[in-house]
Structure 1
Amino acid sequence: MRTVLGLAAALAFGGGAAAQVPVKPDVPSILVWSPQQQADWYRSIESVYKVETVARGDKVRPLPRAARQVAPTWTHAGKSWTVRDYMDAHRVSGVLVLKDGQIVLEEYGLGRGPDDRWTSFSVAKSVTSTLAGAAIRDGKITSLASPVTDYIPELKGSGYDGVTVRQLLMMSSGVKWNEDYADPNSDVARSVSLPIEPGKNPLVTYMARLPRAHEPGTLFNYNTGETDLVGILVSRATGKSLAAYASEKIWRPYGMERDAIWMVDPAGHERGGCCMSITLRDYGRIGQFMLDGGMADGTAVLPDGWTTEATTPQIVKGAPPPGYGYFWWMRPQGGYEARGIFGQGILIVPEEKLVVVVNSAWPTAVGQELGAARLALYEAIRAAAK
């Protein structure tokens, strides 16, 4: 896997500490919370940071429990495993499996219950790209081919001249960007520690200063700043906050069970690249919404074919095989994922009508063995659910 997806860079999947706005004094960086702080605060992030609410509607979409429940067992790293073994060993707060829209497995840990939310880290990126699709369906964004500068004019005359919405969603703007979180002079570190100027978004101001390194659309380069930029673009295009638009297009019509919350940046804008807090079943409903082709209450929320296009490889060069979609990760084993550090994920396998949600509080943001163990869990669940 590319260096940009290594540990140092992957820390930026959740953004730097300065990208959050604390409401609790003397809070350490979210990236270095103790195990107890993770267990307590991942499920009550609103007690730590400023947030906006993604309001649910009056109706809840049922997730019936299937007559046949699954109890996978598997062997990994020379040991036999059950789902509970995996959860205990890897600090997992929830595992949910939907097959044909029904619950076939639901387990909780770390003191979490069905009504408790859990922070998403970069799983939020996939929600943001879905809201971009909704804005296209609504005619607020003209098309994927629209120039980014049509919606964020402060970027005119910068490296973003000629960059399209689609190229942003592919993480292939061609703009020079250093995602090395371990480097205090990297873009990902500097872009979240700028002073707030009245009437200006500091992230937009920073991104406008960046030079072009490649022709747009030719090379994947993981760029946390641009995922937040897409969130700003969607808000500008729709004239609504991301939280309000997510409520209007997904949470209310699809029947989410509980309000979600979305962390805001120092400018008061929801972070397009990070940090929604959602219940386990509502994470599952996000996956089911994608399986349903972006339909909510019988109405199309997304453009025709969007869920297929967004979740199949759109760019290959520079991306982990088999490629990258619109803020969705493709899997060599089949299906696609929304991913976040410290063990957050939604796996969707359309051919199997399967959704798997895992929320965790891993001891490190990423890790080769952690990833391998989760892959073994995924494959055991897939086998059991067939």
Structure 2
Amino acid sequence: MSKLKKTLLAIIVLVIIVYLALPYYVKHAIIHQYPGIEDYKIFHNRVVEAGTYIPWEKDSAYNTMMINQATMDKIESYDPVALLVIQDQKILYEQYWEGYSDSSLSNSFSAAKSIVGLLIGAAIDDGAIKSVDQKVADFLPSFKEDGKEQITIKNLLTMSSGLDWDEAYASLFSPTTAAYYTNDLRKLVNDLKMTEEPGRRYYYRSIDSEVLAMVVQAATGKTISEYTSEKYWKNMGARHDALWCLDHENGMEKAYCCFNSNARDFARWGQLMLNNGKWGDKQLISETYMAETVSPVTYLTDDNGLHVDYYGYQWWIINYKGYKIPYMRGILGQYVFAIPGKNAVVVRLGHKRSDELIGPNRKDMYAYLDAAFQILN
């Protein structure tokens, strides 16, 4: 064997040895690269069962309203797969790209956090959780020590837990990457450490939402998929079952992300927000909790020293064109906007978002809102 072949063989063997020695999540991150909107195909999932279908009506002006070309060019520059506008509980406009349809599954990414926040409200209504001021340690034994015993459910809801976490998406070895690809979310949560006193500083942590989901599961004795189906998905008349990705077969939901559904069914969360927690003649969650959910946590400051006027209980808040708009948000530009002043819901799904921030908001958001206002006006 030539010297070159021996060298190449040695390199190959070394690469294999190094790869095999890597943590489980790193190996899977290398294989799958950056997250995508159809990642439910690479993970195990749990079904969030739908019940009796309640269809959306189509408005008499369905798809007759036009979005101007400049705005559409901006929208299409971010590789959308769905844009939906609903007003007065009727579909006013919808468009799909890349062969997607009103039934196509797409990952919510962090928009799922807003669902988790609503599950906490349901568990409080059910008496399974006393209040948002209850300690997490009442539900999770690993939070009874090392300062974690101070953390309340409210601290998690408002991203002020003080847990040691690096919300880095592009780093192969970040805890956020670990959370996405790990096969043991519970170990990841159990091993968490504190870095600062809770309730002082807002810092966006995906793990706060995951801990909330574990609290819901411990409090109710049900998986969050089961509880979501029971409290919301069936009652809201979703057309299709949703899928919630798991860390392993029959494991824990990736609650901070990875609720997979379609644009029309995602819109139901926005409509629930418009309805102040009511669907039809049934109050699914208390109006008080819904109001708290979209009340900015201005008593907290962020890394820039600014008071947080853009976040509530796992829901984002933007003030635009004179309207206060609560919304759900995911890393690749997954948005569900609820616009109370217009009695409207806007859903956008797609492959990417803007890298540019305008304050706490992504620049691409304004294109979708501008499009909606063109249609709604």
Give the Å deviation of 1:100: 1.2
Query: What does the per-residue CA deviation read over 1:320-374, in whole Å, with 9 as the maximum and x for residues that have no partner?
Result: 8523101111113231211001111111111221110000012xx6511894243
Q: Distance in 1 between matches of 2:271 and 2:99?
A: 26
Give the Å deviation of 1:177: 2.6
Q: Distance in 2 between matches of 1:20 and 1:282?
A: 34
Q: Structure 1 residues 27, 175: CA separation in 2 closer, same or farther (over 3 Å shift)?
A: closer
The reply to whether residue 240 of structure 1 matches residue 240 of structure 2 is no
The reply to whether residue 65 of structure 1 matches residue 72 of structure 2 is no
Where in structure 2 are the equivalents of 1:210-359 lying within 5 Å? Answer: 210-214=193-197, 216-266=198-248, 268-315=251-298, 316-318=300-302, 322-333=309-320, 334-359=324-349
The reply to whether residue 29 of structure 1 matches residue 38 of structure 2 is no
Q: Distance in 2 between matches of 1:381 and 1:195?
A: 40
CA RMSD of aligned residues (A): 2.8
Secondary structure, aligned partner of 2:58: coil
Q: Distance in 2 between matches of 1:201 and 1:91?
A: 35
Where in structure 2 are the equivalents of 1:182-193 lying within 5 Å? Answer: 182-183=170-171, 186-189=174-177
Pick from 345, 360, 364: which aligns with 2:350?
A: 360
Secondary structure, aligned partner of 1:157: coil
Q: Do 2:348 and 2:368's aligned partners in 1 also have CA atoms closer than 8 Å?
A: no
Structure 1 match to 2:88: 100
Q: Distance in 2 between matches of 1:94 and 1:195?
A: 31
Gaps of 5+ in 2: 1-22
Alignment-mate amino acid for residue 60 of structure 1:
Y
Q: Structure 1 residues 383, 366: CA separation in 2 closer, same or farther (over 3 Å shift)?
A: closer
Give the Å deviation of 1:380: 3.3
Q: Do 1:313 and 1:323's aligned partners in 2 also have CA atoms closer than 8 Å?
A: yes
Secondary structure, aligned partner of 2:210: helix
Q: Work out the number of aligned pairs and report it.
A: 343
Secondary structure, aligned partner of 2:117: helix
Q: Do 1:56 and 1:256's aligned partners in 2 also have CA atoms closer than 8 Å?
A: yes
Higher-Rg structure is 2
Q: Distance in 2 between matches of 1:303 and 1:49?
A: 34
The reply to whether residue 139 of structure 1 matches residue 139 of structure 2 is no
Structure 1 match to 2:189: 204
Alignment-mate amino acid for residue 328 of structure 1:
W
The reply to whether residue 173 of structure 1 matches residue 161 of structure 2 is yes
The reply to whether residue 378 of structure 1 matches residue 369 of structure 2 is yes
Give the Å deviation of 1:296: 3.2
Give the Å deviation of 1:294: 1.4
Where in structure 2 are the equivalents of 1:84-99 lying within 5 Å? Answer: 85-99=73-87
Secondary structure, aligned partner of 2:149: coil
Structure 2 match to 1:34: none
TM-score normalized by the length of structure 1: 0.81
Secondary structure, aligned partner of 2:329: strand
Q: Do 1:181 and 1:189's aligned partners in 2 also have CA atoms closer than 8 Å?
A: yes
Q: Distance in 1 between matches of 2:374 and 2:61?
A: 14
Q: Structure 1 residues 163, 54: CA separation in 2 closer, same or farther (over 3 Å shift)?
A: same
Pick from 81, 94, 97: which aligns with 2:70?
A: 81
Q: Percent identity of the aligned residues?
A: 27
Query: What does the per-residue CA deviation read over 1:38-71, in whole Å, with 9 as the maximum and x for residues that have no partner?
Result: 5xxx34x4432111000000x2122111112463
Q: Distance in 1 between matches of 2:223 and 2:121?
A: 15
Q: Do 1:117 and 1:277's aligned partners in 2 also have CA atoms closer than 8 Å?
A: yes
Alignment-mate amino acid for residue 53 of structure 1:
V
Q: Distance in 2 between matches of 1:159 and 1:317?
A: 21
Gaps of 5+ in 1: 1-15, 32-37, 75-79
Q: Do 1:148 and 1:164's aligned partners in 2 also have CA atoms closer than 8 Å?
A: yes
Q: Structure 1 residues 130, 17: CA separation in 2 closer, same or farther (over 3 Å shift)?
A: farther
Q: Do 2:296 and 2:309's aligned partners in 1 also have CA atoms closer than 8 Å?
A: yes
